[in-house]
Amino acid sequence: MSTEPRSTLTNDSLFERARRVIPGGVNSPVRAFRAVGGTPRFIQRAEGAYMIDAEGRRYIDYIGSWGPMILGHGHPAVVEAVQKAVLEGFSFGAPTEREIELAEEILKLVPTMDQVRLVSSGTEACMSALRLARGATGRPKIIKFEGCYHGHADSLLVKAGSGLATFGHPTSAGVPPEVVQHTLVLEYNHIGQIEEAFARDGSQIACVVIEPIAGNMNFVRASVPFMKRVRELCDQHGALLVFDEVMTGFRVGLGSAQGIYAKALPGFAPDISVFGKVIGGGMPLAAFGARRAVMEQLAPLGPVYQAGTLSGNPVATACGLATLKEIQKPGFFEDLAARTRTLLDGLLGAARDNGVPMVGDCEGGMFGFFFTKAGEGLPQNYPTVMATDKERFNTFFHGLLDRGVYLAPALYEAGFVSAAHTARDIDDTVAAARIVLR
């Protein structure tokens, strides 16, 4: 902590200091405000639906630590569970009963899995899930979709190739082309492309990995016909379907996104599921799981190696377990979904009243919106997201930030509502938006 008096701390001074010792002044790129311009807000503390920055300014928080804070910040039951766990020990490097309890709770809520492996981050979980898929099938190739983010493992840092169903090209320095030579990057919601990919390479495809509701190109959901076809193609060619629910897991509903698709497609289930964020309640924790036959390919039972010193950390599991218990209370998701819908409808209404073309969508406690051209519908893939009005979003973002409303500092990120947001918070947000849109 700085020895500088709190009253003289500013976001600008902290950012300048951070840039001297941390690349770009941040430990995760989007926090740097590069997409929207300006100075990042350095948060000192948070409570309920609010964050307070270094200058003492309070914001209504719609980032929620990028999804985990579904109960809001500092929920009493979660704080109590974490404090108790801390007193028992930070980390043991040995199994604990709480790991079993958390695994049992996740499996109870997600019946498509028989077993889960706990890890420390969504990136680690996705990377391990893909290794498991390749090991279980004995195949090298994977399919992902442009605009979906599955963490920063080398084989996933790819962009679409130059033609339909072509192999991807690295999007990060330090990733050799040969590392991504087995990664095919297709257009989200494009049935023809994935049919072509399987027709050409079906016997070599280990898995299709997808965000069922993409939260890293704002909020774009896979259409039911598209998801149905993806499932059919995986079954037909012996590939595994990997659902990346790091963001959507226990955030869009108690059954997660796969529960939503199962209602539209009776019997629908992914083969491997990846979870994070909400299951850790804000602590570093993630998981991946599948049916027993697939999970038994993992070490120490099988040949697919995966390990982690802090996997199943006792403090993180306490935080996650307390969070999962709270969100199972009667009416929790009904109330959260209604609150989120009220917010989105308010924003869209404010835009409409001011003649500003805006579209949006939401599910559970997750939402997104886009500034479009008049008459355009919801974007369905990355190219249509990129065609929306970025400059108008940036102006809107800063206008709300100046009025105490904190959205994600990039057009390409979804927003999150928590159980701590009140009707007054929603009203204040919509009122601020109405002023900015005017």
Query: Is 62 part of the annotated catalytic residue set?
Result: no
Is pLDDT at 163 greater than 50 in this prediction?
no
Task: Output the pLDDT for position 6.
Answer: 55
- What does the alpha-carbon distance between residue 129 and residue 297 come to, in Å, rounded to a whole number? 11
Stretch 50-61: mean pLDDT: 98
Catalytic pick among 50, 59, 62, 149 = 149
One domain for residues 223 and 368: no
Q: CA–CA distance from 276 to each of 126, 311, 374, 421 (Å)?
A: 10, 13, 37, 22
Task: Output the pLDDT for position 158.
Answer: 85
Confidence band of 7 (pLDDT split at 50, 70, 90): low
Confidence band of 221 (pLDDT split at 50, 70, 90): very high
Q: Is the dihedral of CA 129, 131, 135, 139 positive or negative?
A: positive
One domain for residues 246 and 384: no
| Number of neighbouring beta carbons within 10 Å of residue 60 | 22
What is the rounded (10 degree) CA torsion for 297, 298, 300, 305? 120
Is 274 part of a structural domain of the chain?
A: yes
The residue among 16, 31, 58 that closes a domain is 58
One domain for residues 270 and 193: yes
Cite the beta strand spans of 30-70 per DSSP E: 43-47, 50-53, 58-61
- By the 10 Å C-beta count (0-12 exposed, 13-18 middle, 19+ buried), 181 is classed as middle
- What does the alpha-carbon distance between residue 11 and residue 9 come to, in Å, rounded to a whole number? 7
Is 353 part of a structural domain of the chain?
A: yes
Catalytic pick among 201, 244, 271, 425 = 244
One domain for residues 102 and 230: yes
Task: Output the pLDDT for position 162.
Answer: 42
Task: Output the pLDDT for position 219.
Answer: 97
Confidence band of 164 (pLDDT split at 50, 70, 90): very low
Count of positions (residues) in the chain: 438
Nearest residue to 410 via CA among 213, 216, 171: 216
Stretch 374-386: mean pLDDT: 94
Catalytic pick among 61, 144, 261, 277 = 277
Query: Is 149 part of the annotated catalytic residue set?
Result: yes
Is pLDDT at 238 greater than 90 in this prediction?
yes
**Averaged pLDDT of the chain:** 95
One domain for residues 39 and 106: no
Task: Output the pLDDT for position 142.
Answer: 97
Q: Indicate the SS3 state at residue 274.
A: strand
Is 424 part of a structural domain of the chain?
A: no
User: Which amino acid makes up residue 17?
Assistant: R
Range of the domain at 96: 76-327
Is 42 part of a structural domain of the chain?
A: yes
Is pLDDT at 166 greater than 50 in this prediction?
no
Query: Is 228 part of the annotated catalytic residue set?
Result: no
Domains identified in the chain, total number: 3
Q: Indicate the SS3 state at residue 186.
A: strand
User: Which amino acid makes up residue 276?
Assistant: G
